[in-house]
Chain A
Amino acid sequence: MTPMRTLNTQILLLSSLVLTLSASGATADVVTIVSAQTPLANLGADQVASIFLGKSSTSSDGTRLVPINQPEGSPARDEFHARILGKSATQVKAYWSKMIFSGKGQPPAELPDDVAVRKFVSTHPGTIGYVDKGAVDSSVHILSVSDRP
Chain B
Amino acid sequence: MTTYFVALIVGGVAFSADLARGDTGEPPIFSLSGFGTLGAVRSSEHEADFVNSINQPTGAGYTRSVDIGPDSKLGIQLNGNFGERLSGVVQVVSQHQFDNSYAPKVEWANLKYQMTPDWNIRGGRVALPVGMVSDYRLVGYSSPWVRPPLEAYSIIPVTSIDGVDSTWRSHFGGATNSLQGLVGEFHNKFPNGESLDASDAWGVGDTLEYHSWSLRASVASTRVKIRSSQTDLLFNGLMEFGQTLSAVPGLEGYGAQSLGMADRYAVDGGRIRSLAIGASYDEGPWLLMAEWIRLVGTGVLADNTGAYVTAAYRMGQFTPYVTLSRLRSTVPDEQGITTMGLPAPLAQNAAALNAGVQTILSGEQVSQSALSLGIRWDLRKNVDLKVQYDHMKLGAGSGGQLTNYQPGFTPGGSLNLLSLALDFVF
**Interface residue ranges, A against B (CB under 8 Å):** 2, 4-5, 8-15, 17, 19-21, 44, 46-47, 50, 55-58, 60, 64, 72-73, 86, 88-91, 93-95, 97-98, 100-104, 106, 148-149
Residue on B nearest A88 in the bound complex, by CB: B314
Residues of chain B lying within 8 A (CB to CB) of residue A104: 135
- Chain B 61-84 interface residues, beta-carbon cutoff 8 Å to A: 75, 77, 79, 84
Q: How far is the CA of A72 from the CA of B381 in the complex (A)?
A: 9
B382 within 8 A of A: yes
Residue in B closest to A103 when the chains form the complex, CB atoms: B89
Residues in A whose Cβ lies below 8 Å from that of B117? 57-58, 64
Which residue of the partner chain, among B17, B28, B211, contacts A46 with CB atoms under 8 Å? B211
- A101 in contact with B23 (CB, 8 Å): no
Q: For A95, what are the chain B residues with a Cβ–Cβ distance below 8 Å?
A: 142
CB <8 Å contact, A93 and B382: yes
User: What's the least CB distance linking A84 to chain B, in Å?
Assistant: 13
Q: Is B264 an interface residue (CB 8 A)?
A: no
Contact indicator A97/B17 (Cβ below 8 Å): no
* Whole-angstrom CA separation of A57 from B20 in the bound complex: 28
The residue on B at minimum CB distance from A56 is B171
Task: Determine if B5 is an interface residue (Cβ-Cβ < 8 Å).
Answer: no
- Please measure, in the bound complex, the distance between the C-alpha atom of A12 and the C-alpha atom of B295, giving whole angstroms: 47
When C-beta atoms are compared, the residue in chain B nearest to A149 turns out to be B211
| Bound Cα distance from A8 to B29, whole angstroms | 10
Residues 371-409 of B at the A interface (beta carbon under 8 Å): 378, 380-382, 384
Interface size, B (range): 35 or more
Q: Are A98 and B139 in contact (CB under 8 A)?
A: yes
CA of A53 to CA of B400 in the docked complex: distance in angstroms? 40
Closest 3 CB pairs of A and B: A102-B135, A8-B27, A13-B21
Q: How far is the CA of A148 from the CA of B209 in the complex (A)?
A: 15
Q: How far is the CB of A95 from chain B (nearest CB, A)?
A: 8
How many CB-defined contacts (below 8 Å) exist between A and B? 111
Indicate whether B33 reaches chain A with its CB closer than 8 angstroms.
Answer: yes
A60 to chain B, nearest CB (A): 8
Is B359 on the interface with A (CB-CB < 8 A)? no
Which residue on A lies nearest to B84, using beta carbons? A2
Residue B174 at the chain A interface, CB threshold 8 Å: yes
A97 in contact with B380 (CB, 8 Å): no
Q: Name the A residues within 8 Å of B380 (CB-CB).
A: 17, 19
Cα distance, A12 to B24, chains bound together (Å): 9
In the complex, whether B127 has a CB less than 8 A from a CB of chain A is: yes
CB of A54, distance to nearest CB on chain B (Å): 10
- Given the contacts A15-B20, A15-B21, A97 and B141 also touching, CB distance less than 8 Å: yes
**Min CB–CB distance B88 → chain A (angstroms):** 9
Shortest CB–CB separation between residue B312 and chain A, in angstroms?
11
Chain B nearest CB, measured from A93 CB (Å): 6
Residue numbers in A under 8 Å from B27 (CB-CB): 5, 8-9
- The CA-CA distance from A47 to B171 in the complex, in Å, is 10
Q: What CA separation (Å) do A25 and B118 show in the bound complex?
A: 38
Contact with A along B92-136 (1 / 0, CB 8 A): 000000000000000010101000011000100011000000011
Given contacts A44-B174, A47-B174, A55-B176, 8 further A-B contacts (CB under 8 A): A13-B23, A46-B174, A86-B283, A93-B381, A94-B141, A95-B142, A98-B136, A103-B89
Chain A residues lying within 8 Å of B284, measured Cβ to Cβ, are: 86
The answer to whether B139 and A97 have CB atoms under 8 Å apart is yes
Which residues in A have their C-beta under 8 angstroms from that of B142?
Answer: 94-95, 97-98, 101
Question: At the interface, yes or no: B26 with Cβ under 8 Å from chain A?
Answer: yes
Q: Quick check: is B19 within 8 A (CB to CB) of the other chain?
A: yes
